[in-house]
Amino acid sequence: MQALANNEAVEEEIDRREYRRKRRVRNQIIAYAVLVIFLAVLIVGGIIGVNKIMTGMRDKQQAEELQKQLEELSKEEEPAIVEAPVEAEEPVEEKDYLDEIVDACIAEMPLEDKVAGLFMITPEALTDTDTVIKAGDTTKEKLGEYAVGGLIYFSKNIKDADQLKEMLSNTRSWSKYPIFLGIDEEGGRVSRVAEKGLAENVGDMAEIGATGDAAKAQEAGTAIGGYLSEFGFNLDFAPVADVVAEGNTTIGARSFGSDPNLVASMAAATVEGIQSAGVSACLKHFPGLGDTTEDTHEGMANTEKTLDDFNAVDFLVYQAGIEAGTDFIMVSHLSAHNVTGDNTPASLSDKMITEILRGQLGYQGVVITDAMNMTAITDYYTADEAAIKALQAGADMILMPEDFKTAYQGVIDAVNDGTLTEDRINESLRRVYRIKYKDKVE
C-alpha cells in the first residue's frame, strides 16, 4: 500500500512537472508571438512614416517650385495690374458726387425758387430802389421773397473797398441758396472796379492782343480774378471773344484783335487766369459781334454771315474757350438770318443755342443771355415773352429782364400751363448749380 501510494505521488509529481513545462512553452510561444507582432508594427509604422516624410518633402518641393512660378508670372504682369484701374474710375466718382449734391439741392426747391434761380438781375430790380450801395433789411427781405440766381453790379453800386466788401458779404449771407455776384470787369474801358480806383486796370485787351503773348492775357485774367475774388465777386462777364473786323466800333479795343487764332489763344488764356482765382469767366458775345456796326443796346443788330463764316472765324474762339473750361457763355441778341433762317435774336434761337452751341460746339456749361433790357429785345418782345423764348431755346439764365417781376411770373405761369416743363427748368438749374457747388467736390 505504501508502495502504491509512493507510485501515485511520483506520477502526480511527473504530471505537475509536465504541466509546468507545457505552461512555460506556451508562455514562451505567446511572448515570441507578441514580440513578432510588435516588431511587425514597428516595421510597418517605420515604412509608413518614411513614406510620409518623403511625400511631405516632395510636396514641399513642388510647392516651392509652384511659388517661384507664380512670383515670376506676377512680376511679368505687375505693370498692367497697377496702371489699369486708376484712369477709368476717379472722374466718374467725382461727377456722381457733384450730381448728388446738385440733385439734392434742387429736389428741395419749390417751383418759385427754381424759376427765380434762373434770373440774374441788378440789386435795384430786386429791391425796387434807385441805387443800391449797401445790403440792408430790404435786400434781406427781398432775397427771402425772390431767390434769384444772381445779382450784377455796376459802377454806381461801388463807393469804396470796405463798402463793397460789406455789401457783397451781407448779400451772400442773406441769400437762401448760393448766389452769383457778378460784374463786367474786362480790363480797359469796361472795368467797373478798377475805374473806381479800387484795383489797377490791366488795360485794353487790344493792347494785350498786340503783344501776341498769351501769357500776358493769362496774367491779366489772374489779376482781375484775384481782386474780384478779394472783394467777394464770383462771376466776371469777361473776356470778350469777338473777332473784330475792320471798321468795327461797337467792340473796338475790347477785343484782342482781328486774327481768330490769336483771339482764340488770348481768350482761352484769360479764362484760365480768371477761373484760377475761383471766379467764373463768361465768354461773350456768342455767336460773335465782331463784324456788325449796329449796337444791340439801341436796336436790332444783323449780320450776313453764314454758318461757314462763323465756323472759320468766331467759333474758333469759342471752341478754345470751351476747351479752357469756361463756366459761362453769354449769347448776344445778334440776328443771323443766313444761319437761323429769320431775324430771331441769337439769345432766343434754338438753332443758335441748342443746335450749334450745345450740339456742334459741345458746350455743357451755363448759357446766359445778354441783358434783356436792350432794345433789340424790348422793341419786339415783352419781358415774359422774351424770358420764356430764351428758356425754350436752351438758355439757362436770363440777364436783366426789362421787368423782372413780369418775366418771373411769366415763366412760372408757363410751367403751370405746360408751355415750359419743370424738367426743362431743372435741366438749367443743374448746370447752374454744378458751377455753384463745384468747389464742394474734392
Pairing of strands 185-187, 190-191: antiparallel
Q: Among this protein's residues, is 379 annotated catalytic? A: no
Sequence-separated (6 or more) residues with CB below 8 Å from residue 126: 139, 142, 143, 146, 148, 151, 404
Q: Among this protein's residues, is 297 annotated catalytic? A: yes
H-state helical runs in 299-439: 307-312, 314-323, 337-340, 350, 375-378, 383-393, 404-416, 422-436
Strand partners, 151: 121, 181
DSSP 48-89: HHHHHHHHHHHHHHHHHHHHHHHHHHHHHHHHHHHHHHHHHH
Pairing of strands 280-286, 328-331: parallel
H-state helical runs in 133-213: 137-145, 161-174, 205-211
Strand partners, 185: 191
H-state helical runs in 108-151: 111-116, 123-127, 137-145
CA dist 315 and 258 (Å) reads 13
Q: 268 with 222: CB under 8 angstroms?
A: no
Q: 367 with 397: CB under 8 angstroms?
A: yes
Q: 172 with 232: CB under 8 angstroms?
A: yes
Q: 274 with 321: CB under 8 angstroms?
A: no
Collapsing DSSP states into helix, strand and coil, what is residue 388? helix
| Omega before 297 within 30 of 0, i.e. cis | no
Q: Which of 204, 242, 314, 370 is catalytic?
A: 370
End-to-end CA distance of the chain: 130
Q: Which of 297, 350, 403, 413 is catalytic?
A: 297
The residues carrying an active-site annotation are 297, 370
